[in-house]
Amino acid sequence: MRIKLPNESKIGTIPKFEFSFPNGFILIIDTRENDNLFKRPPKGLTVVRDTLDAGDYSVRGFERSIVVERKSLPDFLGSIGHDRERFKKELDKLRDYERKWVFLEAAHEECLSYNQYSQMHPNAVRQTIASIEIRYGVPFYFQASRHSMERYLLDLFTKFYRVKRGE
């Protein structure tokens, strides 16, 4: 019997979370973000809590340029259901950002299936996601693994930071 290693996925071994952060790179987590990512940040990452105008995560110096709005599945379904008007206002704030994403903490199939968190039909969920991407220009990133979500957020943010600084 083969034992699955902690850093192994269905398709192979996941590389160790190693990063070299650019000088001056500071990740901002919004003060209103409760169950935030990066509870144990990778070595060398500076994380601060601050109030952002929009979203949950950004980069110091580029707070009005790049942002990620993270949602758990129950939170997202509530946001497109009974809290729809409030969520539309949040999305409106993102229109002028150069780079923006909604990170959905769930597998894509999970979002588009009947589930315990909502009476919403999966087709309505799918159409709402498509509408948000088209109307607001905000792409979705689906990921059930918090570790993979952290990794991708840092990939995006550090690349943006380096490009903007001409590195």
Q: Determine the straight-line distance between the first and last CA of the chain, rounded to whole angstroms.
A: 48
Q: What is the mean pLDDT of the chain?
A: 89
Question: Cβ distance 99 to 65 under 8 Å?
Answer: yes
What is the model's pLDDT at position 9? 58
pTM of the predicted structure, to 2 decimals:
0.86
**Going from the N-terminus, what domains does the chain have, and what CATH number goes with each?**
51-160 (3.40.50.10130)
What is the model's pLDDT at position 153? 97
What is the model's pLDDT at position 13? 66
pLDDT digits (tens, 9 = 90+) for 92-123: 999 999 999 999 999 888 877 766 667 888 88
In one letter, which amino acid is 49?
A: R
Percent of the chain with pLDDT over 70: 87
Q: Which whole-number Å values give the CA distances from 160 to 61, 67, 76, 139, 167, in the listed order?
A: 12, 11, 26, 16, 10
pLDDT digits (tens, 9 = 90+) for 41-73: 988 999 999 999 999 999 999 999 999 999 999
- Taking the C-alpha atoms of residue 34 and residue 45, their distance in angstroms, rounded to an integer, is 20
Q: Which residue has the tokens 């105008």?
A: 53
